[in-house]
Structures are given as structure tokens and as C-alpha cells.
Chain A
Amino acid sequence: MKKLLYYLLLIFCTISTAYTQIDTNQSSAFDVDDFLFDTEGLDDEDADLGGYNPGVMKSAEDVFSNNAAISFNIAYFKNRGIESRYQTIAINGLEMENLVLGRASHTQWSGLTRIFNGTKCYLNLSASPFAFGDIGGSAEYNIRASSYRKQLSANYTIGNGSYNHRIMLTYASGELKNGWSVAASASARFGTQLNYVKGTSFLGFSYFLGFEKKFNNRHSLSFATFGAPILQGLQANCVPEVYEMTGTHYYNPNWGWYEGKRRNARVRDTYEPVFLLSHIFNSADKKVQVTTSLGSSFGHKNTTAFNFVKTDDPRPDYYRYLPSYFDDDPEQQEWVIQQWAENEDYRQINWENLYEANRQSTALGGSSQYIIENRISQHVQVSGATSLTAKLTDHINLYAGLDVRGYRQRNFKRVSDLLGGEYWLSKDKYADTLADPMLQYYDIDYAEAHLVEGDKCGYDYAFNIFRENLWMTLLGEYKYLRFHIGLNGTMTELWRTGFMRYGAYRDEAVGNSEMFLSPNYGAKAGIAYKIDKHNTFEINGQWQTVAPVAANVFVNALYSNRFINNLKSEKDLTADFSYVMNYKFMRMRASFYIINFQDVTEHYNFYHDLYGGFVNYTLTGVNKQNIGVELGMEIPIGKMFTLIMAGNWGDFVYTNRPTASITANNGYSELTPGCKEVIHTIYWQNYHVAGAPQIAATLGLKFKHKDWEVKVNANYFDKIYAALNSERYTPEARGYLDEGSDQLNAIIGQERLKGQFTLDASISKSWKIKKHTLGFSLKVINITNNKNLVTSVNEQHRFNYMNHDGTSFPNKYYYALGTTFNFGLNYSF
């Protein structure tokens, strides 16, 4: 048994993913899925960037999540349809939430999979000892140096996902006689030659250093720092016409040839290191534990993009460059089709043309027509938390804690590359200069300034956020009964500081805004009743209010200190009911869940075709409901085989008609003559909320014998819906079209993608030779090379109001990769 545990722990610690969250206390937690690569490039839920945060927390104890977590990732599945901002993620007891995003950013510790594998997950509405716990569950990483056994290990992995190679070296001293422990890890990830998507790139490094000193049985102090600088060339989503012409679902419009190399216009550079100091106090009778953590993180997340003025759009897939734009001109259409088929300089970014345009403009004394700008986001966070775990009686535990944090994020743009030009004028190309010439300047204090590379342009502002959170949970455990009740109170203080005076918002752009105060509360309760030692019924509920995220609080956070009217906290009410069966011949969990989101606020800026300009678009009072059932099952077949099954059927819909407030964004003081604000009612009740497949199922067979493990899974995904452009669901978009007409159906018919199958297989094995251990793992995902699985699809914000034609601006898609593999080798001693 000891040997088995040793092996399991060894393999476990060897190669795992940042998102694979495993309860290390469980010997059954070993899973070859741990050999998968990290989620770099996916750590973003912005559909426009095709991002994804792991949607399912994993606990070996839970038969559903244990089998669903990895298998469903390919389809960007989200547990119960809940976004990751509803999950609580902590490290050494300190929550890692980015207060602007409202969620933790896994990128901060990506590439450190051997360090970040000691996760305890508290799924869904369970009680957790380190936080109140959001409705998407809680997870805590323990990265204290003493938690790693003494070892030195080296790992190499090759694959064809976001990057091709990963090299990792990890050392842990174990606990030394003097009470000190040291752990360190470093990794490098690189190479994109094997990738599906041309023009993407990846270069990432990661490091971790941790010390811990156990002074005695009662006091322990630990320090840890980690970071992951990453440079990444991004992909973009496209309309079907483009994918059809290029013959691939992995066409990437972001790159073009430049000086013999593929150059990507959208490059992301991320580095947000974290420092953590943590103290643990145990009472002499071990009935009380107090964990106190101080943390700090800072860093940047920069993304480059084109900017251009009064000239042709440089993006090759701009709708006016597609054959469909020339439906009335067959001759031109034929020429465009030919260009797409034969001319890579037409099909991709033509960098030389951009440089030439800038050269010509410069020769005439003008500014660059095209530039690359860098959209920079810099943050500093200081946080502190203390949590108490007290054993009040033999059956009652009290968890309580206080979390205080301050967060400042400054967002601005810099001129990154003038592309051969000499200067850049930071002006709004859509401005109504006839009404007021100053409207066109992003910075009226430096109007007509000739900006050069490195100068700020466009916008410059900061979010300042403080948040205090006090919580407590009471957990009772008896032979046949387990219950918990919890309370939570949070106060959020938020304000904006503007540093650039944009002409259209000159009176409200600079300086501090008023402070937005948002008190919020939560309560949760749950009870589990064991009918006998094999059967348990469980019911949980949670109610909470949530402050709107910073970006949704202001009319236009880029330029203005003005708050949105009638801001409300979101209200979430959720409950689940589960039946858990645990026999030798079968383990099973079946759950029914219902989640109501009320008064959600959403905010967008986009070009509105009805008003012929960019608008600030705020949706308030959005109500949503997610209901569904989960089923997980494991049936042992003999001693070596296990049949595994996990499935989710969900129905996630909008349940009301929210209100959209639209104001002119940039360049105009009024939306239309005499009209500063337009209110639209959005008729999307009972339409589906997008973002994840609402049906996901896996059926697998696992073979396990000695140190071999082989697993085959067949997966199915369905009810994948397009994210809605709310403006299509308005009378303004419908116009006078008859109900039931094909033209109206093309506008309001939400696209549902066809269900898709995938097949995965994996094999792993390790050998122990004296004190040395060698292991390998091979996992092949999507063996059948299904390239039609859509991971995200969204309706464009643009809409043809002239003809009320729902097909003028088709949906945009991201597809899951075809067959991918990971092969990992590990050596440790």
C-alpha cells in the first residue's frame, strides 16, 4: 500500500496541468490527464479571442467531475454553465481574484504544473474552510514548500497544442531537520511548428521559489513567489465564407509575410508575478488553526493591434474584401475569389502595402496611416487574509475569515510601431468635426501632437478598487447527517482615475470619479443525509449579491468618469439536489441544479450601424436561468477495468427582456441629432445563453494494472449556441418584417451548432529503479480528427438595418483543434 501510494504521489507530482485540480489526499486521484499541457492561450473568456478558462473543477471523490473535467475541456465546457468568475480560487489561503476581471487568472502560474497540483476542490455549493465560496465552487492550492516531498525531477513534454515543447525542472528539499523547507521549479515552453493555426507563436517561461520555516508544532511561516512571462501570437475568429475559401477552420487573419517571416499583428505579452507570505498557527490542542496570508502581485498584460485612419482596413478578412461583398458585381467577385485562392498577400496581412502607404504619407509630410498600438494593462494588488478553523465540538467546525485587498489597474495605449512612418496623430476618425473640432482629439491637452513610438495614445485611465470581505461557515458532521450554513458580507469601493482628456468627454475625463460603493451579502446552506453507508441525499442552496465588475460600471470607462444610471448588484440564487450512490459494484452521482442570475449588467462598445458610429451600450437587468442534470458513474469490470460515464444536460436561457441604454461613444456628443441616449428593449426571453455546450457526455473504459493505465473516452457535445447580439432582438432590427417570414427568422433565429463526437485515448506507465523513477505518458485527443467542433460562435454586433438582412454580417466561429497529442517523459529521484 505504501509503495502504491508512493508511486501515485510520484506520478502525480510529475506532470499535471495547471487546471487539473486534484485532491492529493485521495489515493485514487491519479489520472493520466495530468500529463496534459497547460492552458496557455486559453486563459481568457473573451469570446472574441477564443479564450477559455477551465470550466470544471475536479475532485477524485466526485464521480462526475473526476471524469468530466478533462474530457469536456476540448469543447470549452463550463460546469453548470457558470463562468469562471463565479469560482473562488485561492493559494495558501489567499484568494487570487483579479478585481477587474472578477476572477483568478490561471496564466499567473501556468507552466508550474508540478507545483500547482496540490489542489483541494470544494465543488459547486459545498462549504470550504478558506472562503465563503462562490456558486461555481472553490479550490485552494497549497504551495507551501513543506508540502512537497524531497525530490529532483526533470520533465519533457512534446505536443501540438498552443506550443510544442515544455521543459521543466523541479526541486524540493522536503522538511529539513531545522524546520526549513525549500522548493523551486522552472519551466520553458516554446515552439509552434506543429501547430494547427499558422501565424501563432508561443514563448513562455515560469518560475517558482518557496521557503517555509516550521518554528514548532504551532507556528509555521512560508514565503512563495512565482511568475510566468509569456509572449504569444494570437488567433482571430472568422466568418464561414473565409473558412470555406481557405479550406481550413484554422485560418488566422492576424498574420502576413514580412521580411520573409510570418508577422502577427496581435501579440500578447503577459507577466504578472505573485509574492505570498503565509503564517499558520495551530493551537496546542489542535482544535484551532489560524492561517494568515499577505500577498502582492503586479505586472502587465499587453496586446498589440492595428490602428489606422481614413484608409483601407488592414485586416484581410474585413467584410468588404470578401467575395460576398461583390454579389452585384460578378466580375469583381470572381477576381476576389481568385485572389483569396492564389494570392497570399491578399489572403493575409500585406505588411509591405502598409509600409508603402505610410512612406507615401510621410513623403507628403503626413502621419502614419497605419500603426501597431500596444494596449497595456498594468496592475498592482496588495491583499491580506486570515482564516480560522475551529473545532467547536466533536461534530461542529467553524470556519471564518476576513479578506482585505486593494487593486489598481492602469489601462492605456502606446504607439508601438509606426510601420515606417514618422509620427502618429491620435485622432478619432469617426469624429463629427463639423459640430466641434475638439471632438476628434483623444487628448485635447496635446491636440495635434506628433506622437512617436512609445508615446501614449487613445486612452489612459485607472481602476481603483478596494474590497473587504467577512465570512463564516458552520459545518456539522454526524454519522448520518452533514450540514453547513454560511454567511458572507462584502464591501466594494471603486473609482476611476482619468489621465487623458478626450474631446468628447472633456468635462468628465480626467481626475478621480466619485466613489462607487457596493455592499453585498451572501448566505448558503446545505444538508446531506445518509440513508445508509451506500446512499446519500444532498441538498444545497446559496443566495448572494455580487458587485458589477469595474468595466461595467462606467458609461465608457476608456474616457469617462460617469457612472451608468441605476447600477444594481447582481443577485444569484441557486440550489442543487443530489443523490450519491457508493457501492463496490458502482459509484454514481446524479444531481439536479437550478441557478437564477438576476440584474446582471453587461457593457459593450461597438460600431452601431443604425446610428452610424461607435456607441456605449449597457444592458441592465439581464436575468438568466441555468437548469440541468448531471450524472456521473463508474462501474468496475473485474479488477482491472472500469466503465466510466459522465454527462450533463442543461438548459441555460435568458428569462426576461432587459433594457439597453445606448449613447454615442466617441466623436459625437449626440447619438442622433437632438438625442443623447436611446433606450431599447431586448426581446430575447427564452433564447439560450451561449459560451459552452449545454449537453456534454463521455463514455469511457479505463484499464489499470500495476503501474499501467490506459483510458479511452468517447465524448459528445451538443446544444452549442451562438452568443447573441442583443440589438438583433429589437423592433429596430425587425423593422416591419412579418412574423414567421424567412427574413425575420434569419435575424432572430439563434444558431445552434450540430452535435459533435470526439474520441480520446491515453496511456501511462512508470518504472522505479532503486531511488530513480522514470515515467511516460501519451495522450491523444480527438483521435478521429473532428475539425467541426465549434468552441465559440458569436453574432456580430454589426447589423444591416437598411435592409433588415440578418445574413449581411454572418456569425464568427472558433473551432476546436483536430487531433492533438501530448507525450511526456519524466525522471525523478
Chain B
Amino acid sequence: MKINSIYLTLIIAAIFVSACQREEDIPPALILDKEANMTIAELLSLYEINNSVIYSQIPEGTVICGTVTSSDKEQNCYKYLTIQDETGGIMIVMKNTELYERYPVGAKVFVECRDMVIGHKYKNKQIALLDDDAMVGIPKSEESLYLFTDGKVGPEPAPRIITSRNQIDSTYFNCLVRVEGVRMQNGGVDTYCPDTVNTYCSRNMMLEDSTTITLRTYARATFANELLPIGRCNMTGILINSSSGPLLYLRSLEDISYPNQ
């Protein structure tokens, strides 16, 4: 009996020990082994805005890299991403929404431009896919074929400072900018975009040198019904080119700061 008990004890102990020693597997992280072979400025130079030539094919094997500056969390930047490097910024047309979850501001994104084109929409340069000779956004199911990010979020790029509309040239477009010392026309009276409007609203920002830039807000933006700020402030956002001139898109109301406060 004694021997039997010892046997049993040893067996049970061996099982417990062997079972306790196990460590559960952990899948390895993906390795982002991409490398940019073209700057954004070089990419932009592949295409000159031209109403008769809507787009140019991007050379096979082109990879660009940039930091995300746009955010569609408040739905004012809609179905596009803007990324920028030291040389410039570019808009990537997307089909999906809720991009901020996968490509938050500050995330480093590599774009494999296979089968992609660079062209323009209302004179703003953008890269997109081609479908039936038309530029279309990257569908959700194919994002993983074109966009690569390690999910790590760094600081957002320092915005380029604008104090006068006159200083804006093409290198500012699709970049994060801060327009300093602006005063909104009808600040505290008008909203960014009232319910009665279906698409978007344009509001005038008066800079200190009396030049103006248009603040564009979509009616779908979550802050559209808020009142425009009163007094002088700084506004940070994405500067987009358009047929009527530069447009500033706020990402959220947190993009507004008051220098005197």
C-alpha cells in the first residue's frame, strides 16, 4: 500500500509539474520591411495638372513613405488620407471610412504604388486606383495590398506656418499647415456648416495681412453645427488645392488654438 501511494503521488506530481511548465505561444509581430524609393516631391513631379490629361501612371515598383496628417474621426476629412514627408504631401483616395483607426495621425505609412495613378481632382493632386479609366479609391478589402503601416504612432509633423495667403505655393498642398492670426468672418454668429446645407460650407478666414483663405467644412462633420470662433486664433488643418484656391480642412475643433490664452 505504501509503495502504491508513493507511485501515485509521484505520477500526479509529475503531471502537475509538466503541465505547469508550459508557456503559451505568442505569434511574432509582422515585420515592416518596406523602403521608400521616391520622395513625395518626386512623385508629385510625375504629373502636371492638366485638364486634358487627367492622370499619369506611376512607375511600377514605386514606394513612397509619409506620415499621416489627416483624420476622419470627425468626418471632415472624408475618404482620403494625406501623408507627407520632408519634401511635400499627397492625398491618397480611399473608399473606406473610419480610416483614423488604422491610420492615425502620426502613423508612418508606406504606399506601394503598383497599378496606381497620380492625377488631380479640382486641381488637387492625388493618387488613386484606376477603374474603367476613372480614378477610384482603394477599397477596404485591398488596403492591405497598397498601404503598409506598423501601427506605431509618432508625433504629427510640424505644421507649416502660414501668415499670408501670398506665401502659399504648390508645396503647401496636402500638407499640415497652421494658419496663424486669423479672424473668422461672422465668428460667434455663423456655424461651420448648418443643418440646412447638404454638402459643405465655405467660410472666410481673414489673415492679419487682410488676405483670406477659405475654411471648408462638410455638413457631415461632427462639429459642423458649432459656432465659428470669435477673435483671432490659429487654425491647423490640411491645406487642399481647388479650382477656387486653397481650402483649409480642420480635422477637429482641437485644431483651433488661441494665441492669447
User: Which A residues form the contact surface with B (CB < 8 A)?
Assistant: 535, 577, 579, 590, 592, 610-613, 627-629, 649, 651, 653, 657, 672-673, 683-687, 729-739, 744, 748, 750, 801-804
Tell me if B158 is interfacial: C-beta within 8 Å of chain A. Answer: no
In the complex, chain A residues whose CB is within 8 Å of the CB of B24: 685-687, 748, 750
The docked-state distance in angstroms from the alpha carbon of A10 to that of B152 is: 73
Question: Across the interface, do A628 and B15 meet the contact criterion of CB distance under 8 Å?
Answer: yes
Question: Across the interface, do B142 and A731 meet the contact criterion of CB distance under 8 Å?
Answer: no
Beta-carbon contacts of B117-141 to A below 8 Å, as 1s and 0s? 0000000000000000000000011
Question: Across the interface, do B145 and A734 meet the contact criterion of CB distance under 8 Å?
Answer: no
Beta-carbon contacts of B30-49 to A below 8 Å, as 1s and 0s? 10100000000000000000
The docked-state distance in angstroms from the alpha carbon of A732 to that of B23 is: 21
From known contacts A535-B4, A686-B23, infer whether A577 and B11 are also in contact, taking CB-CB under 8 Å: yes
From known contacts A592-B12, A686-B25, A739-B29, infer whether A803 and B101 are also in contact, taking CB-CB under 8 Å: yes
Minimum distance in angstroms from B146 CB to a CB of chain A: 11
Question: Across the interface, do A672 and B25 meet the contact criterion of CB distance under 8 Å?
Answer: no
Tell me if B144 is interfacial: C-beta within 8 Å of chain A. Answer: yes
Question: Across the interface, do B15 and A592 meet the contact criterion of CB distance under 8 Å?
Answer: yes
In the complex, residue of chain B having the shortest beta-carbon distance to the beta carbon of A629 = B12
Question: Across the interface, do A736 and B102 meet the contact criterion of CB distance under 8 Å?
Answer: no
In the complex, residue of chain A having the shortest beta-carbon distance to the beta carbon of B150 = A736
Question: Across the interface, do B26 and A657 meet the contact criterion of CB distance under 8 Å?
Answer: no
Question: Across the interface, do A737 and B151 meet the contact criterion of CB distance under 8 Å?
Answer: yes
> Contact partner of B25 among A629, A657, A737, CB < 8 A?
A657
Question: Across the interface, do A736 and B152 meet the contact criterion of CB distance under 8 Å?
Answer: yes
Question: Across the interface, do B19 and A611 meet the contact criterion of CB distance under 8 Å?
Answer: no
In the complex, chain B residues whose CB is within 8 Å of the CB of A579: 4, 7-8
Question: Across the interface, do A730 and B27 meet the contact criterion of CB distance under 8 Å?
Answer: yes
Question: Across the interface, do A734 and B30 meet the contact criterion of CB distance under 8 Å?
Answer: yes
> Contact partner of A683 among B22, B26, B140, CB < 8 A?
B26
From known contacts A628-B15, A687-B25, infer whether A731 and B140 are also in contact, taking CB-CB under 8 Å: no
Question: Across the interface, do B141 and A737 meet the contact criterion of CB distance under 8 Å?
Answer: no
In the complex, chain A residues whose CB is within 8 Å of the CB of B140: 612, 802
Question: Across the interface, do B102 and A803 meet the contact criterion of CB distance under 8 Å?
Answer: yes
In the complex, chain B residues whose CB is within 8 Å of the CB of A804: 151
The docked-state distance in angstroms from the alpha carbon of A684 to that of B1 is: 42
Question: Across the interface, do A748 and B27 meet the contact criterion of CB distance under 8 Å?
Answer: yes
In the complex, chain B residues whose CB is within 8 Å of the CB of A729: 25, 27
Tell me if B18 is interfacial: C-beta within 8 Å of chain A. Answer: yes
**6 contacts across the A-B interface (CB closer than 8 A):** A579-B8, A627-B18, A685-B24, A686-B23, A738-B29, A748-B25
- Which interface class (under 10, 10 to 19, 20 to 34, 35 or more) fits B? 20 to 34
Question: Across the interface, do B27 and A731 meet the contact criterion of CB distance under 8 Å?
Answer: yes
In the complex, chain B residues whose CB is within 8 Å of the CB of A750: 24
In the complex, chain A residues whose CB is within 8 Å of the CB of B11: 577, 592, 629
Tell me if B259 is interfacial: C-beta within 8 Å of chain A. Answer: no
The docked-state distance in angstroms from the alpha carbon of A611 to that of B140 is: 9
In the complex, residue of chain B having the shortest beta-carbon distance to the beta carbon of A611 = B141
Question: Across the interface, do B151 and A802 meet the contact criterion of CB distance under 8 Å?
Answer: no
In the complex, chain A residues whose CB is within 8 Å of the CB of B7: 579
User: Which B residues form the contact surface with A (CB < 8 A)?
Assistant: 1, 4, 7-8, 11-12, 15, 18-19, 22-30, 32, 98, 101-102, 140-142, 144-145, 149-152
In the complex, residue of chain A having the shortest beta-carbon distance to the beta carbon of B75 = A328
In the complex, chain A residues whose CB is within 8 Å of the CB of B8: 579, 590
In the complex, chain A residues whose CB is within 8 Å of the CB of B12: 592, 629
Minimum distance in angstroms from B53 CB to a CB of chain A: 26
In the complex, chain B residues whose CB is within 8 Å of the CB of A590: 8
The docked-state distance in angstroms from the alpha carbon of A738 to that of B26 is: 11
Question: Across the interface, do B19 and A736 meet the contact criterion of CB distance under 8 Å?
Answer: no
Question: Across the interface, do A613 and B150 meet the contact criterion of CB distance under 8 Å?
Answer: no
Q: Which 9 A-B pairs have the closest CB atoms?
A: A612-B141, A683-B27, A736-B150, A651-B19, A683-B25, A686-B22, A736-B151, A685-B25, A802-B102
Minimum distance in angstroms from A795 CB to a CB of chain B: 14
> Contact partner of A734 among B4, B18, B29, B144, CB < 8 A?
B29
The docked-state distance in angstroms from the alpha carbon of A191 to that of B80 is: 58
In the complex, chain A residues whose CB is within 8 Å of the CB of B29: 731, 734-739
In the complex, residue of chain B having the shortest beta-carbon distance to the beta carbon of A732 = B30
In the complex, chain B residues whose CB is within 8 Å of the CB of A686: 22-25
In the complex, residue of chain A having the shortest beta-carbon distance to the beta carbon of B103 = A802
The docked-state distance in angstroms from the alpha carbon of A308 to that of B8 is: 59
The docked-state distance in angstroms from the alpha carbon of A684 to that of B26 is: 7
> Contact partner of A673 among B26, B28, B145, B152, CB < 8 A?
B145
In the complex, residue of chain A having the shortest beta-carbon distance to the beta carbon of B26 = A739
In the complex, residue of chain B having the shortest beta-carbon distance to the beta carbon of A594 = B15
Minimum distance in angstroms from B23 CB to a CB of chain A: 6
The docked-state distance in angstroms from the alpha carbon of A594 to that of B25 is: 22
In the complex, residue of chain B having the shortest beta-carbon distance to the beta carbon of A592 = B11
Question: Across the interface, do A627 and B15 meet the contact criterion of CB distance under 8 Å?
Answer: yes
Question: Across the interface, do A672 and B150 meet the contact criterion of CB distance under 8 Å?
Answer: no
The docked-state distance in angstroms from the alpha carbon of A577 to that of B140 is: 56
In the complex, residue of chain A having the shortest beta-carbon distance to the beta carbon of B5 = A579
Known: A734-B27, A735-B30. 11 other contacts (CB 8 A): A579-B4, A612-B141, A613-B141, A686-B24, A729-B25, A729-B27, A734-B29, A734-B30, A735-B151, A736-B152, A802-B102
Minimum distance in angstroms from A605 CB to a CB of chain B: 18
In the complex, residue of chain A having the shortest beta-carbon distance to the beta carbon of B139 = A612
> Contact partner of A629 among B15, B144, B145, CB < 8 A?
B15
Minimum distance in angstroms from A655 CB to a CB of chain B: 9
In the complex, chain A residues whose CB is within 8 Å of the CB of B4: 535, 579
The docked-state distance in angstroms from the alpha carbon of A739 to that of B144 is: 22
In the complex, chain A residues whose CB is within 8 Å of the CB of B98: 802
From known contacts A731-B28, A736-B150, infer whether A653 and B22 are also in contact, taking CB-CB under 8 Å: yes
Minimum distance in angstroms from B231 CB to a CB of chain A: 31
Question: Across the interface, do B22 and A672 meet the contact criterion of CB distance under 8 Å?
Answer: no
In the complex, residue of chain B having the shortest beta-carbon distance to the beta carbon of A738 = B29
In the complex, residue of chain B having the shortest beta-carbon distance to the beta carbon of A628 = B15
